[in-house]
Structure 1
Amino acid sequence: MKNLILIALLAYWPLLKNNGITGTFSEYRFNHIHAGFDLSTNGKTGYPVRCFDDGYVYMIKVKKRGYGNVVYIKHPKRKLISVYGHLKCFNKAIQKIADNYKKIRKTKYPGLIVLGDKKIKIKKGAIVGLSGESGEGLPHLHFELRDYNNNPVDASKYGFDTRFDTTYPVISGLKIIPQDSFSSFNGKTKEGYLKAYRKRKNKFELRKFNISGNILFALSAYDTAGRGKVGVKSINFYLNGKPVYVFNPERFSFDNFKQSCCVYDFEDTSLFPTKYFYNLFKIKGCTLSVSQMLTQYPFKKGENALKIVVSDFHNNKSVLTATFNYTKFKGKPAFFSPLSVVVNDRVIFAKEIENLIDFKAYAVFPYNYEKREFVYKNFKISLVGINKEKRLLKIKKIKDFKGFLIPVKDSFFKIERENEFVKSVKYTFFLKNIDKKYGIYFFNRLRKRWIFIGDKTEKDSISADYYRVGEIGVFIDNVPPEIKGKPYYFDGKFVIKAIDIGKGIDEDSIVFKSDKNEYKLEYDRDRRWLFYEGKVLKGKYTLELLDYAGNKITKTILVK
């Protein structure tokens, strides 16, 4: 009973009301992992945000993107730093400093502000500011703890309250990934997926299966934490009773947090829609300190048993169990796999390959932690991997995509992979007569849409940097932005809905004026609207704006 009372006294929640968690520590965030917890504000702004513990404000940021309006507080007794992001505004003392720097730097977004001798003392539970949606994303509060070395740490270890989470993690299934030409799953050399079946509220099972050769696993799982699907806290993987792999992030460094592909299977992990596939292995070369490979998979001939224990941030546990047969490989070797390829009826392993192998209809090339460049037809790929040991990627030309913008002929390629451990990649297309409307786009397979990623142009070439491999192509953006509906007010903002399907709206190009008045509108790409913070006088206005391809729209807007 005393322990329960102590937990209740120490428990901390930054908002006055708990509406659940929408994002967890070390969760997938595209090319990096999440540094804190995202807390729901039910799609609204303006809720008081309370200080984690006694300390002093030593730094703030006011930025258009990122965390937006953010406060950094040092807590000397705890040797911790607390971070509060996406605020609508700060408390009076902090806001006064922010407003002063806006005047000094002559901008609405003065960026990083280090208080120095002007640091502000603040007590536990005191109001830091009001919750908002500044920076990236819709309304929510980003709460984060760091140690004094500026490393993000798991806040649930330091009193962050997770007692409301009484649900068990959900285990959806297991992905089986053959790694070389002599590996198979249920007789096939391609990867496969087994759905998990719930036997009891926190017990899951798989149907029996067969594998051979070099196999890796990835687990599909998530937690609810009272608010939709979120990432889990830890995973412990056992094979034949032996601990094999542990995912249990307690802290990590910003120096290497852009290695999310080490933890998550990029092929099937997504935020929109929400899907998490956790790698149950750690490749050599990964320096992200959130997981540990204890031993290589200890398969044995005949029947094997696996057990996977998944925990959430309140230590609710779910367990997946299965039995499977490990047999000798039979059949025809796979032509292409992450670690080998068949050339002239001979299996060649990745470690033996230095250059691109051109099969005319497609090509195969190696990659690892060293920078490598390969040219295939009118396309060049430059990439750096995380993996120490060489792995393979397969590239082929695909049909020009129709039904979006104007496709540039012979400028579409697909890079195939079973796993990808790419740290950075640069795509370059060699083309003639490139102009401002040309752009490189990446196809998001799970969202089924093309995404603009870059348009750096030089003589007869266009390039873009990205963090993933997949389907890539060049389009000509000749479609102007679209203004949708009538203007309205939302949360004190004057709003006009604006959408661009290509390169995006150029915020610096926006002109909104009448014969008597003119207002500087901004663009929120998350909300996909133009906005002005305040009241706009009634009248007939002319709205002009460009997208980054130079397409222009002019429209008359009536403000009533």
Structure 2
Amino acid sequence: MRNISYKLIGTARKAFALCLCAGFTATFAEECDEKMMDAFAYEDCLAANGGQIDNDAKKGKTDGPRLTILGQKTDPYNPFKRDAYLTSSFGENRGTRYHMGIDYSTQMEEGWVIYAPEDGIASEIKTSPYGYGKALYFKGNSGKTWVFAHQSSFSAQLDELVYKKMYSTKKNDIVISPKVAFKKGDTLTFAGSTGIGNPHLHLEVRTADNKGLSPCKEGALCLDTIAPQIFAAAATYKDDVAFTSTEALDKGCIATPIKNTFENDAPVHIAFKIADYSREPKENPMSIRRLEVFRYDEKMFSKVQDTIPFSKQLRIRDELLWAEEADTAGDWHYVNVPFPPQSEYRIEVEDYAGNVTTKKFSIRSHCKDNSEFQKQNFQKTPLITYLSRPALDLGRCDSSFTFAALDKNGNTLSENLCKVFPHKLTFLGKIAATFPAATKIAYSNGNSENTIYMTTLNKGASSASWTVKDEDFEISQKVTGMAVRTNDGTPVLAFTKNITDSLNFYEFHPKGLQFTGKWEVCIDAHTAQAPLYWLGETSRNWFIFSKQTSGKKRCASMNELRDIATIDNQDPPTLGFPYWDNMIIGGLHQPALKIPVNFKYDGISDGNSITVKSGKNWIAAEYDSEPREIILEGARLPDEGEKITIQIVDEGRHKATYTVTIPGM
């Protein structure tokens, strides 16, 4: 996560603040110009104009909060008492779950002081190399719990309790309940980069009944100067889809996939690709608070996201549709109502600072200036997932690829799908509806041949079981808790083998499939002679299944479909050269010895998988999962030239012990 912050203070900001101090009402006559004003002046101009922003359509109105420094009856809660922009928003897409808080930039710096939001107690502290890293749970007198994640350290009193628990239990990852009281504005903790990500603060607000609340709605400062952007639209009808680019959407048009005249009055479903940014440069796309659609002047759809129960996090699959290019800007927001043609529509999108973007559109068979846009990343095979459905990239028909449909007995149903369907992204449901007996698609690029395996699911089914036996493998799958609410077409499961120079693996689709149960996959022992690993879609790193069975089959389960490989890795992690740097304890920088950890596949599951000793004396070790380093407090280490031992047990249960000589500073 890259964090950059503007430090310019515009004259408009100063003038508006002076007017407020004098007790006058300020009015800006000029338009809010994002390009001509610095970030703060632009933000204050928006606040003065009621949070509205000029765009290609009419100015939108907002019913949401405008939590900026100015224009509030009471001051917002500023965790740092200094300007900090949002880099991630509440409700943002995190793959299988919603982002349950907001992230603030700390300008790539650790150690920013964080102040208590209200009177209350530090109810719990947890430490881990992953997830929230060092996290403080602060229960306020209001009854709400504030969560501060990725901290570098806590207040001196709290850090003393943390180290006391670590040394008494000889564990690096600990949980304590300090019950230490703080007053509003007291120094509570210090921002850092523990867990995942570069230096930043992750802030959550939770209720007693386990609901996540938007911190922006609860009074936290949310600096965001840019209104949301609507990049594209996708209209679906049964097994067909039509995409609309930014250029065509800006002209008020959304293309429909319906071509038959007798179906012209049929409604379509639409998903919009939307992202919000807090400032220039636009580096961290965020989610939105509100999406509403109007047919003429009647509101036909509304989603306002200020509260998310933790028990409903999987609901994200009903609202944000997975796409193979999911690591590019924006998410596909599904609007769960039908759109009849021959109507005028308006969409309003609002971010968590109250900035609104409005667009008017109508649905047409053809849109002028409609252009292609990226629909996949890192994808070698023509089988991809788009809008949470498996799809075939028949655009490759124009580059020597051939595709044939086969039934379960190997009989050819169509020897050339390139002659049957347009040369573009095509849902497998369309192919299954055209050839109901199809179970395989054989494809070739002229140099090599491969097969896509597919099965058609019953509409409305809540579970599915599927086993494929071929000459080289046997793979079985089971999915439970399916909803498939956003697919009014033919639901299909599919997979294929991806053959690469370094590692062969199986791709399973559709990724992002809507289900609330589990996906269980089993591969026969002949095919899977080594443990099962899954691929991180954006990191492109392989991770071992921490829980898997073996025997006649190797089986594992997840809450989404993934790419699966079997990897025979016998190498434990190794250590790099130690060097002196610093760490933060109680808000103060202290000398620290940092030792890089190197591995290709099997990482370190938690901090307790590392044991450091000087002779018989146990030494606390902090493991930083990014950039994979062991961090040791210098004051607790022996003198220069003396030795310590480090034992590491990785996720593949490989154990290694190393002797490290303390270097000179």
Same-fold status (TM-score > 0.5): yes
Matches within 5 A, 1:129-168: 129-162=189-222, 164-168=223-227
State the distance in 1 between where 2:123 and 2:361 align.
52
Alignment pair present for 1:247 and 2:311: no
| Secondary structure in 1 matching 2:111 | coil
Flag the structure with larger Rg.
Answer: 2
Alignment pair present for 1:427 and 2:524: no
Aligned partners of 2:532 and 2:564 also within 8 Å: no
| Secondary structure in 1 matching 2:216 | helix
| Secondary structure in 2 matching 1:280 | strand
Aligned partners of 1:439 and 1:454 also within 8 Å: no
| Secondary structure in 1 matching 2:477 | strand
State the distance in 2 between where 1:512 and 1:61 align.
20
Deviation at residue 149 of structure 1 after TM alignment: 2.1
Q: 1:525 to 1:95 in 2, by over 3 A?
A: closer
Matches within 5 A, 1:207-286: 209-212=255-258, 215-226=268-279, 228-239=284-295, 241-268=297-324, 270=326, 273=327, 275-282=329-336
Q: 1:196 to 1:59 in 2, by over 3 A?
A: farther
CA RMSD of aligned residues (A): 3.9
Matches within 5 A, 1:491-506: 491=583, 492-505=591-604
State the distance in 1 between where 2:361 and 2:421 align.
27
Alignment pair present for 1:523 and 2:623: yes
Alignment pair present for 1:402 and 2:475: no
Aligned partners of 1:43 and 1:139 also within 8 Å: yes
State the distance in 2 between where 1:420 and 1:430 align.
24
**Percentage of identical aligned residues:** 17
TM-score, length basis structure 1: 0.76
- Per the alignment, residue 363 of structure 1 pairs with 454
Matched residue type, 1:323: S
State the distance in 1 between where 2:483 and 2:159 align.
46
Q: 1:281 to 1:479 in 2, by over 3 A?
A: farther
The structure where helix makes up a greater share of residues is: 2
| Secondary structure in 1 matching 2:360 | strand
Q: 1:543 to 1:55 in 2, by over 3 A?
A: closer
Matched residue type, 2:496: K
Matched residue type, 2:479: L
Aligned residue among 166, 174, 183 for 1:123 = 183
Matches within 5 A, 1:161-560: 161-162=221-222, 164-176=223-235, 178-181=236-239, 183-185=240-242, 192=243, 194-196=245-247, 204-205=250-251, 209-212=255-258, 215-226=268-279, 228-239=284-295, 241-268=297-324, 270=326, 273=327, 275-282=329-336, 296-300=337-341, 303-325=342-364, 337=427, 342=432, 358-359=439-440, 362-366=453-457, 370-377=462-469, 378-387=474-483, 392-404=491-503, 407=504, 412-417=505-510, 420-423=513-516, 424-432=518-526, 438-442=531-535, 444=537, 448=540, 450-454=542-546, 456-478=548-570, 481=573, 483=575, 487-491=579-583, 492-505=591-604, 521-534=621-634, 536=637, 537-539=639-641, 547-549=650-652, 559-560=663-664
State the distance in 2 between where 1:369 and 1:112 align.
45
Aligned partners of 1:441 and 1:475 also within 8 Å: no
State the distance in 1 between where 2:160 and 2:512 align.
50
Q: 1:483 to 1:245 in 2, by over 3 A?
A: farther
Deviation string, structure 1 residues 183-237 (Cα, Å, up to 9, x no partner)? 342xxxxxx4523479xxxxx4466634316643322222222473322222223
Deviation at residue 251 of structure 1 after TM alignment: 0.8
Aligned partners of 1:512 and 1:544 also within 8 Å: yes
Q: 1:480 to 1:61 in 2, by over 3 A?
A: closer
State the distance in 2 between where 1:106 and 1:552 align.
19
- Per the alignment, residue 152 of structure 2 pairs with 88
- Per the alignment, residue 98 of structure 2 pairs with 33
Aligned partners of 2:285 and 2:330 also within 8 Å: no
Q: 1:413 to 1:395 in 2, by over 3 A?
A: farther
Deviation larger for 205-214 or 254-263: 205-214
Matched residue type, 1:72: Y
Deviation larger for 19-28 or 479-488: 479-488
Matched residue type, 1:526: E
Aligned partners of 1:21 and 1:37 also within 8 Å: yes
State the distance in 1 between where 2:186 and 2:628 align.
34
State the distance in 1 between where 2:508 and 2:314 align.
21
State the distance in 1 between where 2:116 and 2:78 align.
9
Aligned residue among 84, 87, 98 for 1:22 = 87
Aligned partners of 1:268 and 1:276 also within 8 Å: no
Q: 1:135 to 1:416 in 2, by over 3 A?
A: closer
Deviation string, structure 1 residues 348-407 (Cα, Å, up to 9, x no partner)? 9xxxxxxxx744852214276734322122111121244166862332432433324xx4
Deviation at residue 533 of structure 1 after TM alignment: 3.1
| Secondary structure in 2 matching 1:260 | helix
Aligned partners of 1:171 and 1:196 also within 8 Å: no
State the distance in 1 between where 2:500 and 2:547 align.
18
State the distance in 2 between where 1:193 and 1:485 align.
53
Deviation at residue 49 of structure 1 after TM alignment: 1.0
Deviation at residue 26 of structure 1 after TM alignment: 1.0
Alignment pair present for 1:109 and 2:173: yes
The structure where strand makes up a greater share of residues is: 1
Aligned partners of 1:41 and 1:139 also within 8 Å: yes
State the distance in 2 between where 1:72 and 1:31 align.
24
Q: 1:433 to 1:520 in 2, by over 3 A?
A: farther
Q: 1:524 to 1:98 in 2, by over 3 A?
A: closer
Aligned partners of 1:174 and 1:196 also within 8 Å: no
Q: 1:121 to 1:514 in 2, by over 3 A?
A: closer
Structure 1 gap ranges (5+): 186-191, 199-203, 283-295, 349-356
Aligned partners of 2:347 and 2:358 also within 8 Å: yes
Aligned partners of 2:150 and 2:200 also within 8 Å: yes
Matched residue type, 2:246: K
Aligned partners of 2:96 and 2:512 also within 8 Å: no
Query: Which one scores higher on RCO, CA 8 angstroms, separation ≥ 6?
Result: 2
Deviation larger for 147-156 or 476-485: 476-485
Matched residue type, 2:301: Y
Structure 2 gap ranges (5+): 1-19, 26-47, 49-69, 259-265, 367-418, 442-450, 584-590
Deviation at residue 433 of structure 1 after TM alignment: 8.9
| Secondary structure in 2 matching 1:458 | coil
| Secondary structure in 2 matching 1:523 | strand
User: How many residue pairs align between the two structures?
Assistant: 504
State the distance in 2 between where 1:503 and 1:462 align.
18
Aligned partners of 1:145 and 1:154 also within 8 Å: yes
- Per the alignment, residue 285 of structure 1 pairs with none
State the distance in 1 between where 2:512 and 2:548 align.
28
Deviation at residue 459 of structure 1 after TM alignment: 0.9
Aligned partners of 1:179 and 1:339 also within 8 Å: no
- Per the alignment, residue 369 of structure 2 pairs with none
Aligned partners of 2:244 and 2:254 also within 8 Å: no
